[in-house]
Amino acid sequence: MQGNNKALQSFLIESEENLAQLEQDIVALEREPEDHERIDSAFRAVHTIKGTCGFFGFCHLEALGHAIEDVLGAMRDGKLHMTRDRATILLEGVDFCRALLTLINNDGNDGEHTPEELIQRLREQLEHAEEAPAEAEPEPVASATAEPDAPAPATDQTETGADQGDSPPEKPADASASEQSPRESTVRVDVVLLDKLMNVVGELVLTRNQLLQHTTNQNDAQLVNLSQRLNLVTSELQEGLMQTRMQPIRNAWSTYPRLLLELEKKTGKRVNPILKGGDTELDRSLLEAIRDPLIHLVRNAVDHGLESPQARQAAGKPEAGTLTLSAYHESGNVIVEVSDDGAGLDSDKILRRAIEAGLLRPEQAEQLSERQRINFIFEPGFSTASQVSDLSGRGVGLDVVRTNIEKIGGSIDIKSKRGVGTTIKLKIPLTLAIVPALIVRCMHQRFAIPQVNLMEVVYLEADKQEAEIQTVHDALVYRLRGRLLPLIDMRTILEMGERETQKDQFILVLSADQQEFGLLVDDVRDTEEIVVKPLGKLLKDTPCFAGATIMGDGRVALILDVKSLADYAGVTRQERRLRHADTLPNTAEDNTIRVAENYLLIKPNSGEGRSAIALSKVSRLEEISADRIEYSGGREVVQYRGGILPLIRLNPATDNEEDNEVIKIVVQPTEHGEVGIVVNDILDIVADQNTQISQNASQDGLLGAGIVLGRVTDFIDCDTLVRKALNTNPSAQSEDGNER
Amino acid sequence: MEHTLRTRVRDRLGILVVDDSNAVRSLITAKLHELSEDTYDLDVRQAADGEQALLETEKHTFDLILLDVEMPGMGGLEACRMLRQRHCPARIAMLSSMTSAEAHLAGRQAGCDNYLVKPPHDSDLRSILRLVSLRKQASA
């Protein structure tokens, strides 16, 4: 019984493979009906299935297999020719075989009915076979002359990669032919076992790392030698095991010819597929992960990318569109490209759609580069297809493709030229199990951050912090080379403590989902190849973490999931807002300035007037006792955070007792350090105003006046004000002080 | 007895210190006593969160409430809003480690009179006490 079961399992596996082979062959034959090797291969595949069925008594599958075999046999004998219709019927047969195999897998038998109708249709094909030879007779002659050329395009179009990879070009191109010899030298291994082995090797790598760290402190030459040896062997083992998990990307492509055939039928377009670099290998888990995104891209390319044959002709292109899939290695990553020679992306249409969808404002559009425009197709909720077809319009957009690719540490890029075509480039890491990571420290804990997400590291001195880190919309931002970078403070987000402001910090510039943000950490340690371990059950639901790893010294470090962290901290939304604010024009035109900043509305003095200070120039608001005011060089100052904060008054001292008791200061970073602007009251924050400021240079320290919330408001020019205040003759300033 | 107690209370400043950290409460309480020595008499009570603070204000009258912003359960901002809704006459000073303009304004909008940054400077507390005392005298 046991033995029988095992046999059944291997029958199922083999049959699946044979069906896959059969399918590929049928599709290839539809394009190249005279490819005899293909016919033989297809025939063999179905023959094997049919033959084995007899042992198990799967009579329905046997009958179906027989019918398919007969049709292919007629083709092999030159009595019948492959046509698109015939291919379709044969593929239906393949699908039905699959269904029967599933049935066998679940119930142990192949059901109760023979697919009579399908078998009947297959048999009908044979009726034509009798007449065929007479009609087809001239054809073999014609194709005989074409023969020398014919195989070349065939290999070119579907198996070019195989040719490039191996020296004998013909054999590997035909998978079934090459399968014969290596069959004895290969062993089938359960994937679960491979995963387990990978895990064990991971443990070994960790132990090795610990041992190495330990032995460096020892004085034992023998021990050091042995551990070096262990080191090498472990690396070799690790590498070898990684290789066993590698699969050629061809495996993910195997279904494409079939897919394209269906797409062609549905869209009425002709597609000429070119597959390059099918031998490029990828970790199997990654291969699985990119399978669906790739199919999506291919569907998209045919459905939206390529034009109809008429349109192509009109544009002076060959009727059949070319779809190129290529895979190759590039600096430790695998690159997979899907490119078509279709109409290219219509960036105007994309823009219109993006504006409709509220992804940007019309006035921002002019500022965008072609590339930026095109990239909107990756935004959630975006689809340019004017009509939703059942091919690609499944409500799943490119944003999902991007998300899935980024989930495995990859990235996606798009290039398009109108009228020429579109290329989508996927960059995928070789493996997921072991990743290079940066080790950082936050308080007493260490964290690993995958290198793929890391753009750069910025060192931030403690005394520059206040000046360089600002608050916008309740969130921290850092001005990185003139660009606002949303900041996440690690301590705050992980509730480890409050933000460190007294000591030097590091900002890690991370990118997730095509958005960059900064992460404030206490220290940056080292880069290390870490082995990713899944988190235990208890920690499964925590956001922000992708797993854990064991460091060389035996301690555990959590691995940050950069994308989740960004989502958790709400950076994504924040960044979008900043980006929009950033892309707004800020050049002065004539004598008006367009303002795209948030402003702090204040009352400069006890009067009715109102003023606005750019929020980006505000680091904090403080209320302090007037008793704390001291004088230095005739200027009002307060001791503040271990330093001296010069005060600038917008209001002359008033009689209001409260104002004289507790003063409100707006702390601003300047190039000379922080200064505090003393205001009478703080009223509000006005967001993103498109206020027109009319410049009247009547007063130094004012940018001009504008209307905010229905009232005339002075816009304070902080830079000038501060410069003026700090440069003024101290004696003049002291009058101010003496008045009080 | 009851009567004398009441007249005495009027001379004293009733203060409620609200903070979820026992340590902070004790420190502030001690600091208040230290600062008001020889100047004011203080009656300082404590509460660990917004709810407790509201309960306290139902039982007692305060001249000053020092309110932490971030607390588990009802935080300082909400507590402040509730107190203002109930027309609590006390001066309310927020105490927070958040110094951003937004945080400051949020406190303002919740109805606080002062928004101090943790840890408060002695002078700040002294000024606040002075203001509380002035207002009390004015209303008396």
Please tell me the distance from the alpha carbon of residue B90 to that of residue B16, in angstroms, as a whole number. 10
ipTM over 0.85: no
Burial-class residue A180 by CB neighbours within 10 Å (0-12, 13-18, 19+).
exposed
A456-509: per-residue pLDDT in tens?
888 888 887 777 887 776 678 888 776 778 888 888 888 888 887 788 889 999
**A686 in contact with chain B, both atoms CB, cutoff 8 A:** no
- Give A609's contacts (C-beta < 8 A, 6+ positions apart): A603, A714
- Residue B87 pLDDT more than 80? yes
CB contact under 8 A, B124 and A498: no
**C-alpha distance from B131 to closest chain A C-alpha (Å):** 7
pLDDT of residue A168: 40
Contact A612, A708 (CB under 8 A): yes
pLDDT of residue B30: 86
Chain A residue whose CA is closest to B124: A625
Contact A139, A81 (CB under 8 A): yes
Q: What is the CA radius of gyration of chain A?
A: 35
A209-219: per-residue pLDDT in tens?
788 878 878 88
A528-548: per-residue pLDDT in tens?
778 777 777 777 677 788 788
Q: What is the largest CA-CA distance in chain B?
A: 49
- Which residues in chain B touch residue A682, judged by CB atoms under 8 angstroms apart? 101, 104-105, 108
DSSP state of A532: -
Which residue from A474, A626, A662 is facing B102, i.e. has the nearest CB?
A474
The pTM (predicted TM-score) of the whole model is 0.43
CB contact under 8 A, B99 and A624: no
**A577 in contact with chain B, both atoms CB, cutoff 8 A:** no
CB contact under 8 A, A657 and B105: no
**C-alpha distance from B133 to closest chain A C-alpha (Å):** 12
Can you tell me the mean pLDDT for A212-233? Answer: 85
Chain A residue whose CA is closest to B126: A625
- Residue B1 pLDDT more than 60? no
Instruction: Give the residue with greater pLDDT, A669 vs A515.
Output: A669
Which residue from B100, B117, B126 is facing A625, i.e. has the nearest CB?
B126
Residue A124 C-alpha from the chain's centroid: 50
Q: What is the CA radius of gyration of chain B?
A: 14
Of residues A540, A342, A308, A535, the one with CA closest to residue A423: A342
- Going from the C-alpha of A389 to that of each of A267, A379, A395, the distances in angstroms are 10, 20, 10
Residue type at A184?
E
Please tell me the distance from the alpha carbon of residue A160 to that of residue A253, in angstroms, as a whole number. 13
CB contact under 8 A, A625 and B127: yes
**A384 in contact with chain B, both atoms CB, cutoff 8 A:** no
Can you tell me the mean pLDDT for A312-323? Answer: 87
Contact A26, A86 (CB under 8 A): no
Contact B33, B44 (CB under 8 A): yes
**C-alpha distance from B24 to closest chain A C-alpha (Å):** 15
Chain B residue whose CA is closest to A621: B101
pLDDT of residue B45: 93
- Residue B124 pLDDT more than 80? yes
Q: What is the largest CA-CA distance in chain A?
A: 118
Burial-class residue A674 by CB neighbours within 10 Å (0-12, 13-18, 19+).
buried
Can you tell me the mean pLDDT for A421-433? Answer: 81
**A624 in contact with chain B, both atoms CB, cutoff 8 A:** yes
Residue B41 C-alpha from the chain's centroid: 15
Contact A448, A437 (CB under 8 A): yes
pLDDT of residue A431: 67
CB contact under 8 A, B102 and A628: no
Q: How many residues are given for chain B?
A: 140
Q: What is the β-pairing status of strands A556-560 and A545-550?
A: antiparallel
CB contact under 8 A, A620 and B100: yes
CB contact under 8 A, A625 and B124: yes
Tokens at residue A374, please?
Answer: 């095109």
DSSP state of A376: G
pLDDT of residue A712: 80
CB contact under 8 A, B115 and A618: no
Quote the percentage of chain A above a pLDDT of 90: 2
Q: Strand, coil or helix: what is A547? A: strand
CB contact under 8 A, B104 and A682: yes
3-state SS record for A293-314: HHHHHHHHHHHHHCCCHHHHHH
- Which residues in chain B touch residue A618, judged by CB atoms under 8 angstroms apart? 101
- Which residues in chain A touch residue B104, judged by CB atoms under 8 angstroms apart? 620-621, 682
Residue type at A665?
I
CB contact under 8 A, B127 and A621: no
Q: What is the β-pairing status of strands A421-429 and A411-417?
A: antiparallel
A33 preceded by a cis bond (ω within 30 of 0): no
A256-302: per-residue pLDDT in tens?
888 888 888 888 888 888 888 888 888 888 888 888 888 888 888 88
Of residues A170, A131, A129, A182, the one with CA closest to residue A35: A170
- Residue A708 pLDDT more than 80? no
Of residues A165, A169, A427, the one with CA closest to residue A279: A165
pLDDT of residue A585: 38
Contact A626, A662 (CB under 8 A): yes
Please tell me the distance from the alpha carbon of residue A620 to that of residue B104, in angstroms, as a whole number. 9
Site of tokens 């992960």? A289
DSSP state of B39: T
- Residue B16 pLDDT more than 90? yes
Chain B residue whose CA is closest to A625: B124
- Residue A362 pLDDT more than 60? yes
Quote the percentage of chain A above a pLDDT of 70: 78
Mutate to test the interface with A, among B35, B95, B102, B105 (most CBs of A within 10 A): B102
B67-79: per-residue pLDDT in tens?
988 887 888 999 9
Which residue from B102, B124, B134 is facing A624, i.e. has the nearest CB?
B124
| A to B CB pairs, distance under 8 Å | 67
Please tell me the distance from the alpha carbon of residue A437 to that of residue A122, in angstroms, as a whole number. 58
Torsion-angle region of residue A609: left (phi > 0), alpha (psi -120 to 50) or beta?
beta
